[in-house]
Amino acid sequence: VPVDTELYELLEVPPTASDADVKKAYRKKAKEHHPDKNINDPEASKRFQEIGAAYEILSDPQTREVYDEYGLEGIAGGQGGPGGGVDPADIFAELFGGGGRGGGGGFSFAFGGPGGMGGGPRRSRQQDSIIPYEVTLEDLYNGKHVKMNMEKEIVCAVCRGSGAKSGAKPKPCIKCEGKGWTTSTTPIGHSSFGQARVVCEECEGVGEKLREKDRCKKCKAKKTVKEKKRQEIFVEKGMTDRQRIVLTGEGDQSASLPDPDVPAGDVIFVLKLERHSAFERSGNDLSTKVQITLSEALLGFDRILLTHLDGRGIQVASTAGKVIRPNDTMILRGEGMPHYKSPDRKGDLYVVFDVEFPDEGWAKSVDKTALYPLLPPKKPDLEPRPAVVDTPAYEEGDFVDVRARSFPAGADFLNQSAFSSFQFGADEDAEEAWTDEDDEGEGEPECRTQ
């Protein structure tokens, strides 16, 4: 039985799981907690790193054997483990890139205080702050300069992050006996129990605690204080949905790691594009639908068709003698989105024409005798004529537009059958989809009996 099951619990597999089961569980959990799929969850990046670190250890037979026998202390080269001479900070800094969950109760790889696991990893910098930021398509087309007031946690300058008055020293935590963690027993099955280490709620994993009279007057032993600062971000022309804007070093300094020598993390704004009422984007190309009348479709037009994202009116004259059919598309070169970092270059604008036919009132008022000679002749019956001809009954309400449908965000919004010589947005690299080989063939069939 392994002495430590925390990594197995993180991947939600039993200690007896095979290598294939561990891999499958990792892929499932990594997809579930990937930061790009959880941009509104600031904890997703941290969980994603923990999952990756757990898999790094359990996927290697040698490190898994060491972990099963000695726990995380064995991996880090602690007492009793075979990894003597290995700096645990190097291992965890490489695997975690900033550590596991700290603070409140729950899983954690690093506990501070005397008697803990090597005092925790030395981080190159502290945790990043992820902030979703909504933008419009106009913002991404024209660029945008935003100023805002922000508040962040910084190390208390009075006590330099100790939380104590000058000369005062914390006492070992009574609840965890200075280890920074306690043991939690969880039932597994009907008659078995598993044990796991959890952060001590009394000292928050530090292993030490200050008396009330010894606490710093400014931070009240919290070790950090709030600082307000005026910040500004630049949404550059051509940026894309989910692109990140990074304010380096403007993140919080963690209360669980108040080391002045460790740089603060970053503030990362993740752009979230709002749906536009007229335009849709694919890479550096834009698409919009424009309605024209039947007379314009047959005889041509020369007018302002649309208002662009920068407020310009776009005037277009159709080609003389060109008959425009429904869903015909005109490409306006250089009227698409600006290229990111090269705003003078632009993609193309695809104008999809929707021909507006006259209503019944017009058909009743027009002189049909004068109109017939101007229109193409009616088509004759099918040849050869079928042996049996039926005349089904129908009502006026049976005329419907089967093409009218809504598209979810990110779906293909153009009917590909309408194009023969181009593919919308084909010049841009498509985002690589994350697929699970183990899931292939398990989906439902496309057609099902209702």
Q: What is the pLDDT of residues 321-379, one digit of tens each?
A: 999 999 999 999 999 999 999 999 999 999 999 999 999 899 899 999 999 998 889 89
pTM, whole model, 2 decimals? 0.58
User: Which portions of the chain are predicted below pLDDT 50?
Assistant: 78-122, 258, 407-411, 413-423, 426-450
Q: In this structure, are residues 255 and 220 in contact, taking their beta carbons and an 8 Å threshold?
A: no
Angle between helices 61-70 and 44-58 (to 10 degrees): 100
Polymer length in residues for the chain: 450
Residues 6+ apart with CB under 8 A from 224: 153, 154, 155, 156, 161, 252, 253, 254, 255, 258
The pLDDT of residue 196: 77
Bridge partners of 330, per DSSP, are 351
In the sheet that holds 285-293, the strands lie side by side as 279-282, 285-293, 349-356, 329-332
Bridge partners of 59, per DSSP, are none
The pLDDT of residue 386: 93
How large is the greatest C-alpha to C-alpha distance in the chain, in angstroms?
A: 108
Report the alpha-carbon distance of residue 269 to residue 250 in Å, rounded.
Answer: 12
The Cα-based distances of 201 to 26, 89, 99 in angstroms read 29, 24, 19
The Cα-based distances of 102 to 46, 106, 120, 127, 199 in angstroms read 10, 8, 11, 11, 8
Q: What 8-state DSSP symbol labels residue 445?
A: P
* 74-83 contacts, C-beta under 8 A, 24 or more apart: 76/117, 76/118, 78/117, 78/118
The pLDDT of residue 226: 93
Burial degree of 430 (CB within 10 A; 0-12, 13-18, 19+): exposed
The Cα-based distances of 247 to 225, 233, 237, 287 in angstroms read 20, 8, 18, 33
| DSSP E strand boundaries for 258-378 | 267-273, 279-282, 285-293, 302-307, 313-317, 329-332, 338-339, 342-346, 349-356
Span 381-407, pLDDT tens digits: 999 999 999 999 888 777 766 555 554
The pLDDT of residue 289: 97
Residue carrying structure tokens 């109760």: 105
Please report the sign of the dihedral spanned by the C-alpha atoms of residue 202, residue 207, residue 212, residue 216.
Answer: negative
Report the alpha-carbon distance of residue 34 to residue 433 in Å, rounded.
Answer: 13
The pLDDT of residue 210: 84
Report the alpha-carbon distance of residue 221 to residue 159 in Å, rounded.
Answer: 9
